[in-house]
Structure 1
Amino acid sequence: MNTPSRLGATTKRRRALATVATLPVLAVSLSACMPFGLGTATPPAGAAGGGGGGVDFDGVQSATIQIEAIGTFVDPAEGAFEAAGRGSGFIISPDGIAVTNNHVVVGAGTLEVWRGGDTTDTLNAKVLGSSECLDLAVIDLNGDDYPYFEWRKKDITTAQDVYAAGFPLGDPTFTMTRGIVSKAETAGETPWASIDSVIEHDARIRGGNSGGPLVDPDGRIVGVNYAGNDQHDTNLAIHRDEAMEVVEQLAAGESVLSLGINAQALMGEDGTGLGIWVASVAAGSAADKAGVEPGDLLTRMQGVTLGTQGTMSEYCDVLRTHGQDAALDVELYRPADGLYYRGQFNGEAPIEAVTVLGQDGGNSGGGSGGGTTGDFVNVSDDSGIVTVDVPADWSDIDGSPFTDEAGNSWARLVASTDLDSYFSSWNTPGLAVMASQDALSNMSVDDILNDTTNALPGAGCTEDARDAFEDSYYTGTFSYWTGCGDTGASYLVVAATDMNQSHAIVVAVQANSDADLAVADRALGSFFASF
């Protein structure tokens, strides 16, 4: 998949703050800026303003701004760092209301703005409203009596002349490049936005052009530049109609299709979608209140797996379906501590780590059948109903269904380094996840748990703990056993039902080391059944 790179801020590293654990394989970074020299375009003969209070073509520079966002951001490959990143924007009213990209400003601690390339006059600004799905934000500059842009009133057509204005590569020198509209309207699914209508054009743009205006020969706004692909010389701008539809809401302080994150979908080197990486979080936003932190990887929202194609489409579709103010279930992985979390945006369930035993252990035994090392992968049963994260080296998998003695049908997934050894001994770690819509008609959750564990005492196992289990999806009971077999292995079982009582689910993990117990915590944070 070859997607445009976002033109986000050209970054100046100031001070390394920390290094967080990084994901196993990351094929996408949060910025892709290459040095590039731009000539200054000249207006066509006879170009003039179209009347009204907005600037004409000769005044484009005076109403175009450069924005420096200063704050701490978390890069998936480099960890946390304090940075000053620069992008572009443009003023749309004399009282200093300006438009830019969400990824330029959201999550910043401070904003500094310069107008028209004049770096001697620094302006302060605040973010009024934003949208990570549309990659738009509206900011308010201090002061008034600013020159400003008007929006193009005529149709936007293929082959019409356009000009990209802004401050590429963080340079304070104002630039413009000339091109034509290649596609007047197309979809804009990228790793950091999901936009119904964008304009493809060939007025060359680079990192730092983010949020800058795309104008017609009269200096009227055609679109908001936000992405480019150097390899294919493709440049993208958010369509005027898309921006105008929400700009008043954003200026009024209402965010749109937003939970308040500066984010990007990530893909592994094998092309597998990993989720939505959060580089920064807007203070006071729904994400901030829920407990999302920079460096988190959102993996599932409202039961939908995120970032499967390396775009924000699934994330934004959930917001479009339920609304940004709805209570939304979320699952995330936090590389900083290696744990999965579950909870809700806008709900009563805070985002909390899904852990029963803790990563530091318990009384697990030894064993010689293979430890737990390496990366995790998400796997499913043959029907695609049951999913869970397992270590990548637990590659011996059985996803076949089964029917129990009571006639209940179960979807099942079993994974280990060696299934034969796992089934026949206590030497080899492994796990099983099973889900059934039938079982609750003739069994309680406790019945299911007891049936799953009734043979363990005969293997020398001792139940060390039994307690309630609950996360934002499931409620039930967990049981923890130690001293199993001649290796003294540990065995963890969770039996639960979803909040709607539509199905029962069982998670069972055999552990032969402390690392295997960490697998149990990971499994409890990622198991899911989708009937």
Structure 2
Amino acid sequence: MESTERDRRRPPRHRGLSVLVIAAAVAGCLLVGSRLGPGSPTLPAIPVPAAAPAVAPTPLSPAEIEARVVPTLVTINSVAGPLTTAGTGIVLTADGVVLTNHHVIDGATDISATALVDGSRHPAQVLGYDRFRDVAVLRLDGAETLPTAGLGRSADLHLRDPVVAIGNAEGGGVPMSAPGEVVGVNQSVTARNASDGSRNRLTGMIEVDADIRPGDSGGPLVDAFGKVVGVSTAGNTGMRPTPAPGAPPTTRAPVPVESYAIPIDDAVALADQIRAGQASETVHIGPTPLLGVAVTDASEAQTGAKVIAVGPGSPAEQVGVRRGDVIVGWGGNPIRSSSDLTVEMNARHPGDRVDLAWIDDSGQRRTASLVLGTGAP
């Protein structure tokens, strides 16, 4: 799960034959009517039965919500070097297409999922992701008949609507529920990845006071009828930080819970785009290509993506890119910032050949053709 830094800006708070028969009857009446003369008796009106009043759906009890939702979830374990990240996934299709957060699988070299309906364990492949909006779509190997989640509409949410976050809280592999209410919509928040400290600006979020915890990430936020209305993404732990070593002991007082979820309307739209294989500036499809550099924006006096680290044996290192060099061209396109390089990488796949241009530490422009390797998402 990602922790949050609060953004204080808030908005002010289902006929064929029957239709044909009816149509024929109406036409017959019209023909007869045209032959009636003056003084003919008036045909009696045919009473139309009143429509039955719509029956409002009945909210479910907490136990009923869990019984409906939990079988449609998986727990996720992602291994990246010595680190293992636990998260949750929402089953979208019976053959194992799963929706989760990108930060749950970020950097992972091995991803597996356990179906809560029967405890079956499945290797997972990444179909695609949008790391800027923290959405990833996986496919589970060997899954054929998993129950699928019932999806609601986040556009129908209102302030104070009751919701429940369900997920692999604290990574224990046991689903837990956290009830709460909607306290904000269309919120913006800066989320920090608890694993590596990286930050990501998220917008259009649902804010809730449900206590979303590490491991809940990628799990469903559901309404009172057990319909998924959001994807749990970020939150605090509801407690103040532990005092620094040497500081006077204090009681860890509870603080207001701030948790955030991606609206399900947005998440499913991204999932559909990924499943359709439609890449964009932020959406990457399929396995991740590897150049082998970490970059930041160059200085104000120079445009480009400055290399701050080069992976040993990576494609970049093999063609002579070194720390401190500035990447300025990619496949004939100019690179003016680190974001430009990210956009270019999003459109590529392992095995693609690209022409790279960079300025070395002596100020000389260098070019080389290289083949991208396979990297982690």
Band the TM-score falls in, shorter-chain normalisation? 0.5 to 0.7
Establish whether residue 223 from structure 1 lines up as the match of residue 221 from structure 2.
no
Asked if the contact 1:149–1:219 (Cα under 8 Å) also holds between the matched residues in 2, the reply is no
For each residue in 1:264-290, what CA deviation from the matched residue of structure 2 results, as whole angstroms up to 9, or x when unmatched? xxxxxxxxxxxxxxxxxx9543xx2xx
Change over 3 Å in CA distance of 1:355–1:97 after alignment to 2:
same
Residues 128, 254 of structure 1: 8 Å contact kept? no
Deviation at residue 134 of structure 1 after TM alignment? 0.3
Determine the structure 1 residue equivalent to 2:158.
Answer: 157
Match for 2:259: what amino acid? N
SS across alignment from 2:356: coil
The equivalent position to 2:305 in structure 1, one of 330, 333, 336, is: 330
For 2:356, the aligned partner's letter is P
What's the counterpart of residue 271 of structure 2?
Answer: 247
Give, in whole Å, the separation in 2 of the partners of 1:127 and 1:302.
Answer: 35
CA distance in 2, matches of 1:146, 1:304: 55
Give the AA of the match of 1:469.
Answer: Q
Matched, 1:355 2:355: no
Please tell me whether residue 47 in structure 1 is matched to residue 56 in structure 2. Answer: no
Closer/same/farther in 2, CA of residues 60 and 236 from structure 1, 3 Å limit: same
Tell me which residue corresponds to 1:59.
Answer: 68
Classify the secondary structure of the residue corresponding to 1:92: strand
| 1:180 equivalent in alignment to 2:181 | yes
1:211 is paired with a residue whose SS is coil
Paired residues for 1:281-430 under 5 Å: 284-285=288-289, 288=290, 291-293=291-293, 296=294, 298-300=295-297, 329-334=304-309, 339-343=323-327, 344=330, 345=341, 346=344, 350=356, 354-356=360-362
Corresponding residue number in structure 1 for 2:41: none
CA distance in 2, matches of 1:177, 1:223: 14
Distance in 1, Cα, partners of 2:279 & 2:169: 27
Shift of 1:170: 1.1
Q: Is the 8 A contact 1:104 1:210 kept in 2?
A: yes
Kindly indicate whether the alpha-carbon contact (under 8 Å) linking 1:87 and 1:209 is maintained by their aligned counterparts in 2: yes
Give secondary structure in 2 for the equivalent of 1:60: helix
8 A Cα contact 2:207 2:258, kept in partner = yes
1:469 aligns with 2:364: yes
Distance 2:207 2:144 in 1: 33
CA deviation digits over 1:97-133, x for unaligned, max 9?
11001111133222111122754x2112111010110
Is the contact between residue 165 and residue 178 of structure 2 (CA under 8 Å) also seen in structure 1? yes
Alpha-carbon contact 1:341-1:351 (below 8 Å) kept = no
Tell me by how many angstroms 1:217 deviates.
1.4
What is the root-mean-square deviation in Å for CA atoms of aligned residues? Answer: 3.5
Matched residues in 1 for 2:139 and 2:67: separation? 24
Q: Which residue of 2 aligns with 1:68?
A: 77
TM-score (norm 1): 0.43
Q: Which amino acid aligns with 2:306?
A: E
TM-score (norm 2): 0.59
Mapped contact 2:68–2:226 kept (Cα < 8 A) = yes
Stretches of structure 1 lacking an aligned partner (at least 5 in a row): 6-44, 50-54, 73-81, 261-281, 306-327, 357-467, 473-531
In structure 1, distance between residues paired with 2:213 and 2:109: 24
* Number of aligned residue pairs: 256
Q: Give the gaps of 5 or more residues in structure 2.
A: 6-56, 193-198, 241-255, 313-321, 331-340, 346-353, 368-377
Which amino acid is the alignment partner of residue 47 of structure 1? Answer: P
Cα gap change, 1:131 to 1:303, in 2 (>3 Å)? farther
Secondary structure at 1:207's aligned position in 2?
Answer: coil
- Specify the code of the residue in structure 1 equivalent to 2:228: I
**Cα distance in 2 between the residues matched to 1:147 and 1:161:** 24
Per the alignment, residue 407 of structure 1 pairs with none
